[in-house]
Structure 1
């Protein structure tokens, strides 16, 4: 038996991936991280059929809440309540209708959830991993910033100092949906930078991989959007899965499970585009930015790792 910790397992591609992981790897104890009491219901549903599933509550917008959740997992691992830790899946993600939404720590919530929460989990669980282990962070091809990858729906990243990106109001007209989408694509670029740093810094045997599901219509990623945009995302755009331009939720979830379980072979630091190791954007290979994001993330989480 071994443990995999997963965020973003309650809906969309994460729910499908969780079901696939449990069905295909019966020796997994899956720990789902979910907000409030939803995790208990999720773990009960996923455990049907005899699967080993438990839950830990966390608000990923709050670093204090993430620390509490990670500490609980650490304690359960140390006490033998959980088998050895072999995986972490940072699948949770959010996109807001502005770049002014702040969490309890005063941090911009897109960056906090899509970047910093994963980093705090990784750092607090780092010494609890048993090799071979794999960390998988779900990213997005919106970080390319071109029409081929975002279909004109999400602006490309606008890089600034990561200290600026972690705060509200980092983009022009920060009260607009365009700024919120820019914050999203920029956060996914930052997440890739961190994966590159994990590949350099984590102990041998703990691999880190970025997974891009492609454009997956019909998910709740844009659940904070206006009613018209939500309708288009949920009812109109799903028809695009009939074309090569989009990935169905079921396919994206299955492909995520492939990466988590190692069915898709990928060396540490890789970018997996659906089912193949590929090159991420040219902009995403920048050692100076990668070190900067690491330094900012370390500084922000410092008070939570003591």
Structure 2
């Protein structure tokens, strides 16, 4: 039966692998890619050249106003039956910066804005349009564990603060350092997992939401804001780790993301999926009181962009 699949973060890295799999193996899917042109436009044209229905909507996920506009356009297409019923949302877009001083035009810390707030606006603006059974997949990171096993000493563990602080520049010591930027990243991914647990409690029955962890995937553009040496290592040296248990290759990680989105991985709502296996996320990530506090905060912060 025809249905709509919406995806962010499809133009590069594991998202590019995943969307190619989704388009190739989901013959009933109508695909809507959210992102910035010209990259997302070129990808939609390429994927649609084989006859699959693929369109794109301009969306800068570092701007909640842009996310609101994009979701409004998507709502109109769904409500006017120009698209079949919405069944899948893959929220794969994410950023990691070289410091914690990047601020969006709307006054939010950039890492938290794209990794947490943008997803919240998108989900809340679309939740009433899903036709169940449906699934939301949010790409997270095992850096939220904060130990050497999961981050190889490259990313500091999360440092939780009040959500209103995390959403603004200055939440972490020495904000101009790479360590602060990476701490902002791991903390934002912990926040995303917290929200998945809260979404699972609050979203309508039949609309499942899961976290997807690709593990460490060298060779992507996640660290595209890093210095030249770090970029060279990520693209040319560290990919060799994918031949060991310490890392995951881009094709494997993207393929697993597609399988989770397609429902091939049996993952109850609220689950944490590590590649193709449902496991427990960190002990810190299970905190209902913190999750409610975070929900209340992001509801307040995003209220102007959800109307």
> Which TM-score bucket, shorter chain as reference?
over 0.9
- Distance in 1, Cα, partners of 2:166 & 2:306: 22
Per the alignment, in what secondary structure is the counterpart of residue 94 of structure 1? coil
Equivalent residue number for residue 165 of structure 1: 166
Equivalent residue number for residue 31 of structure 2: 30
Equivalent residue number for residue 91 of structure 2: 90
Equivalent residue number for residue 300 of structure 1: 301
- Distance in 1, Cα, partners of 2:38 & 2:11: 12
- Distance in 2, Cα, partners of 1:160 & 1:193: 13
- Distance in 2, Cα, partners of 1:130 & 1:250: 30
Q: Are 1:45 and 2:46 matched, yes or no?
A: yes
C-alpha RMSD of matched pairs (Å): 0.6
Query: What's the offset of the Cα at 1:38?
Result: 2.2
- 1:120-153 deviations in whole A, cap 9, x for unaligned? 0000001111001100000000000000000000
Query: What's the offset of the Cα at 1:48?
Result: 2.5
Equivalent residue number for residue 240 of structure 2: 239
Per the alignment, in what secondary structure is the counterpart of residue 133 of structure 1? strand
Equivalent residue number for residue 112 of structure 2: 111
Equivalent residue number for residue 9 of structure 2: 8
Equivalent residue number for residue 284 of structure 1: 285
Per the alignment, in what secondary structure is the counterpart of residue 211 of structure 2? strand
- 1:5-57 deviations in whole A, cap 9, x for unaligned? 10000011001100101111110011001113322111001112111110011
- Distance in 1, Cα, partners of 2:43 & 2:68: 21
- Normalising by structure 1, we get a TM-score of 0.99
- Distance in 2, Cα, partners of 1:176 & 1:46: 39
- Distance in 1, Cα, partners of 2:102 & 2:162: 19
Equivalent residue number for residue 142 of structure 1: 143
- Distance in 1, Cα, partners of 2:214 & 2:40: 24
Question: What does 1:254-269 correspond to in 2, within 5 Å?
Answer: 254-269=255-270
- Distance in 2, Cα, partners of 1:185 & 1:305: 26
- Distance in 1, Cα, partners of 2:253 & 2:17: 8
Q: Does structure 2 conserve the Cα–Cα contact (< 8 Å) formed by 1:37 and 1:57?
A: no
- Provide structure 1 residue ranges, at least 5 long, that are not aligned to the other structure: none
Query: What's the offset of the Cα at 1:289?
Result: 1.1
- Distance in 2, Cα, partners of 1:202 & 1:105: 27
- Provide structure 2 residue ranges, at least 5 long, that are not aligned to the other structure: none
Query: What's the offset of the Cα at 1:208?
Result: 0.3
- 1:187-217 deviations in whole A, cap 9, x for unaligned? 0000000000010000001000000001000
- 1:153-189 deviations in whole A, cap 9, x for unaligned? 0000000011100000110000000000000000000
Paired positions, count: 306
- Distance in 2, Cα, partners of 1:235 & 1:288: 43
Per the alignment, in what secondary structure is the counterpart of residue 120 of structure 2? helix
Equivalent residue number for residue 184 of structure 1: 185
- Distance in 1, Cα, partners of 2:40 & 2:241: 31
- Distance in 2, Cα, partners of 1:304 & 1:250: 35
Per the alignment, in what secondary structure is the counterpart of residue 82 of structure 1? coil
Question: What does 1:68-87 correspond to in 2, within 5 Å?
Answer: 68-87=69-88
- Distance in 2, Cα, partners of 1:126 & 1:278: 26
Per the alignment, in what secondary structure is the counterpart of residue 6 of structure 1? strand
